[in-house]
Amino acid sequence: MSTPDADMAAFGEAAPYLRKSEKERIEAQNKPFDAKTSVFVVHAKESYVKGKIESKDAGKVTVKTEGGETLTVKEDQIFSMNPPKYDKIEDMAMMTHLHEPAVLYNLKERYAAWMIYTYSGLFCVTVNPYKWLPVYNPEVVLAYRGKKRQEAPPHIFSISDNAYQFMLTDRENQSILITGESGAGKTVNTKRVIQYFATIAASGDKKKEEQSSGKMQGTLEDQIISANPLLEAFGNAKTVRNDNSSRFGKFIRIHFGATGKLASADIETYLLEKSRVTFQLKAERSYHIFYQIMSNKKPELIDMLLITTNPYDFHYVSQGEVTVPSIDDQEELMATDSAIDILGFTADEKTAIYKLTGAVMHYGNLKFKQKQREEQAEPDGTEVADKAAYLMGLNSAEFLKALCYPRVKVGNEYVTKGQNVTQVNNSVGALAKAVFEKMFLWMVVRINQQLDTKQPRQYFIGVLDIAGFEIFDFNSFEQLCINFTNEKLQQFFNHHMFVLEQEEYKKEGIEWEFIDFGMDLAACIELIEKKSSVKTLALLFANYGGADAVVSMIVISSYFVSCRYRVLNASAIPEGQFMDNKKASEKLLGSIDVDHTQYKFGHTKVFFKAGLLGLLEEMRDDKLAEIITRTQARCRGFLMRVEYKKMVERRESIFCIQYNVRSFMNVKHWPWMKLFFKIKPLLKSAESEKEMASMKEEFEKTKEELAKSEAKRKELEEKMVALVQEKNDLQLQVQALEAKIKELTERAEDEEEINAELTAKKRKLEDECSELKKDIDDLELTLAKVEKEKHATENKVKNLTEEMAALDETIAKLTKEKKALQEAHQQTLDDLQVEEDKVNTLTKAKTKLEQQVDDLEGSLEQEKKLRMDLERAKRKLEGDLKLAQDSIMDLENDKQQLDEKLKKKDFEISQIQSKIEDEQALGMQFQKKIKELQASLCSFPCLAQAQLRQEEGTGVRELEGEVDAEQKRSAEAVKGVRKYERRVKELTYQSEEDRKNVLRLQDLVDKLQMKVKSYKRQAEEAEELSNVNLSKFRKIQHELEEAEERADIAESQVNKLRVKSRDIHGKKIEEEE
């Protein structure tokens, strides 16, 4: 239905971009058109072109295009053209012929005239103009407010207003889905939808500026509009196809109160493309905020963030393009900065946002290098790290340490691990993406907090804007998720819309055919959604539901039928006779020459297939043209007859006037006529005075009546105003009461349902209560039994606790013993240090006493092992301290006896020394053999000494018996030590404290090994030192035997206690169960 040009004046300068003028529409209707020969034909380059059919032959059609080209194609490659009156039609569902070339041609013609919005049935199609058009001005918003869809040209404002009106009238939440490929204009239309709601539903309540906190806040509608520039700065970027592509999805809920005024808003975001922070293709760039900051519109940001104005100085933001011709980064920075202020961010929060953004830029410049001969990375300079750490509020050294040597949790402990250069760079990239994402999500949370005004909410309108479908040269997992979401949304769209159509047909009793629509995408979606044998891949899409049911599209389009087409055959429906509407429609359509398979009757409607409605419209237009022509002919005949009658009357009037003039000329000189002319004026003057007097009386009466009527009129007007005001007030009260009645009725129904549910739940709970009472009685009996067993168990635990206390006292005593033994070992170390000082002066006698030095090395090695075993045993000994002290006294007695034996051996050694000098030559021959036997001599020092003495000479044979005895004792001691080591290892796993002490002792052992190596250079007094060490070895051997006995006793006691503790713990668990 066309709107006159006068009505389009309300749209201002936007009118030419919304609807063609009346003149254009009339010119289009008068264009010559042949419906039989005008067609669209398939073309190799242009897809479809206009043409005229010249001939048809054997399934082939020859068409001459508008460009003068002649094409011969199959019949299924030509499509009928719509009449010119459908050119640039606003709703393509109204076209006579609905097919692909007709739709594309209409969109192309409207786009060429900069009419970017077109309806397609229930939907609005938008074509991105890639230029600014004045179709979003404030006067356009006001022009669409409260207008029905058919009353105004297609526009996103019309869709928004319809959703708003439906929300108020139906009292239901509404959603607007804005979908399309990347670059289709989704983000701009989302902003326009928000702009429309913020304008028509503005609450008008201003927020006070909080100067004390440094906030500059705007109204709620200003904040809702300002949320978009801020999110676009941090979430939009240039891609191959779109200079301002949204790299995240958002669902904006705009909440309204009961009266339709803005109440609050909130935003949900999805699928932020984090990988763009660290990587871009050549024809793309990173998020706008980085380039806005470097535009130098606010130089203080450059100084605060320690950056430059050259994007190529920062690797993360310069891998693709750095400028976009269609975007002014300086103006966008000011818009972003202003949006932050309007949204109520504090000065500290604003500074933190900029600093974190700058830190992400510096992350890309961090450099690391490989350490020489190691697979470990280290920083290659700290200047960049210092800047990034400063902006993040971190310590630079700790920051670099965390990157190169991160702490990893293994079990219940944290372990420091090393990383190579590649691993560190990956960590830096992951850190940059995580910081940017968390900052973005935090901003969304802060925006939602600011938009939440705590005002009462009644309904909301949701606006969905997701990242568009796009295919890059290099596609990340995030792009796969974006494309997958778009396909799922398209499937939901098909399913939602066509199921409604099916329900309409089912309600009307219409049989229809299905066309599979969407199976091409369903297979791909099902492939991704179905469970995978690879658990990691299955988890990636775990949040998506299963595959939807197959969606079908119905070929038939529905329209309402009225008496509009009765003009086609008025005689089919008799006048003055009642007839059912359905029968009348069947009779009317049956009498018209159309294909009767192209329509079907429902219970209340007639459904036409695509194209039939246009044919009926053409037939109606032809019939109307015929009727109008006949009407015009009759009207013209009537008008001519009226004109002819007037001409006849004029002629008769002329004849009458001529007769009267001739008669007057004959009598004007007659004397009596002259007297008549003189007397007649005198008669009129006398009568005029009487008439004047009567007229004055009538005037006075009329004046009085007028005054009375005027007073009465004013009184009635005042009464009418009061009554109108009272009527309006009553109407408002009635409306309010009706709304309350409806609301109370709904509440009553809900409460009745809730009451019924609660009654059912009450009965169910009563049944459960009775069952629970029985269970409680049984449990009380069981609880009494458990209480008795609990008391018995507590007594056992008390006894065990006392035993454990006694063991703790024993352990304390052993700790004192440990300190005493440590002092003894320290004394031994001091003696070794003294001997080490003497070694430097004894290098001349090295070759003579090689054998004694080797013996000393073996004994020291044995002492080291024994000392390690003793240190381990000290922490586990749980024997009695008095027994240990007695054993020490026995050891002192043994020491005195050993001193006497040592004196005897000194005398024997002095005798042997002279023999050794005689047999020195023979000893040199045995040097090679001595070196080969050194490995075995280390573990068996006494045995090696006996063998060496035997090889050197017969003088040593006198000590052979004593050496054999020492060898046996050493072998027995070694066996005992091994046995004790096995037991100590078992105990080591049972205590964490033991493990730490072992590590400390290991360090001490390493130091002793270094010292032992230096003893090889000893020359003099080696034999004496060997004997001293031998006596110490015997002393320690006795101590080890006694310690082994005490350890066995303690071990058996601990095992008994553990068994008891486990039994008690098991009984407790059984009782609890």
CA proximity to 1062, closest of 777, 680, 800: 800
Say if residue 186 carries a ligand binding annotation.
yes
**What phi, psi does 933 have (nearest 5°)?**
-90, 0
The H-or-E segment that residue 741 falls in is helix 671-839
**Other C-beta atoms within 10 Å of 804: how many?**
12
**What is the C-alpha separation between 151 and 158, in angstroms, rounded?**
10
Q: Is 182 annotated as a binding residue?
A: yes
Number of Cβ within 10 Å of residue 802's Cβ equals: 10
Q: What are 61's strand-pairing partners?
A: 56, 73
Strands (E), 481-551: 514-516
How far is residue 461 from each of residues 451, 468, 1027, measured CA to CA in Å? 15, 22, 99
- Is residue 126 within 8 A of residue 158, CB to CB? The reply is no
Strand partners, 89: none
SS (H, E, C) 1004-1025: HHHHHHHHHHHHHHCCCCHHHH
Cα dihedral 513, 518, 523, 528 sign: negative
183 is in an annotated binding site: yes
Contact 845, 1020 (CB under 8 A): yes
Residue 790 vs residues 795, 1004, 1060: alpha-carbon distances, Å: 9, 50, 16
**Residue 206, exposed/middle/buried by CB under 10 A (0-12, 13-18, 19+)?**
exposed
* Cα–Cα dist 876/859, whole Å: 26
Distance CA 360, CA 27 (A): 61
* 68 is known to lie in a ligand binding site: no
Residue 715 annotated as binding site:
no
**Rounded to whole angstroms, how far apart are CA atoms 856 and 868?**
18
Token pair, residue 304, equals 């605060």
User: For 364-395, where are the alpha helices, taking DSSP H only?
Assistant: 383-392
Sequence-distant (6+) residues with CB within 8 A of 599 are 589, 606, 607, 608, 609, 612
Q: Taking CA 941 as the corner, what is the angle to CA 940 and CA 944, rounded to the nearest 5 degrees? A: 85
- How far apart CA 149 and CA 160 sit, in angstroms, is 10
Rounded to whole angstroms, how far apart are CA atoms 668 and 214?
A: 108
Distance CA 117, CA 138 (A): 18
Distance CA 937, CA 246 (A): 80
Dig out the tokens for 329 from the structure.
């980064």
Q: Is 181 annotated as a binding residue?
A: yes
How many CB atoms within 10 Å of residue 619?
17
Are residues 839 and 832 in contact, defined by beta-carbon separation less than 8 angstroms? no
- Within 58-145, strands assigned E span 60-65, 70-74, 78-80, 117-120, 123-126
User: Do 241 and 183 touch, CB atoms closer than 8 A?
Assistant: yes
Alpha-carbon distance of 1032 to 966, in angstroms, equals 13
Q: Provide the pairing of β-strand 413-416 with 514-516.
A: unpaired
Distance CA 103, CA 97 (A): 9
Residues facing 123 on adjacent strands: 120
Exposure letters 514-536 (e unless 16+ CB within 10 A, then b): eeebbeebbeebeebbeeeeeee
Q: Rounded to whole angstroms, how far apart are CA atoms 1070 and 1073?
A: 5
Question: Tokens 């028509």 correspond to what residue?
Answer: 200
Q: Which residues are annotated as a binding site?
A: 180-187
Please report, in range form, the residues annotated as the binding site for ATP.
180-187
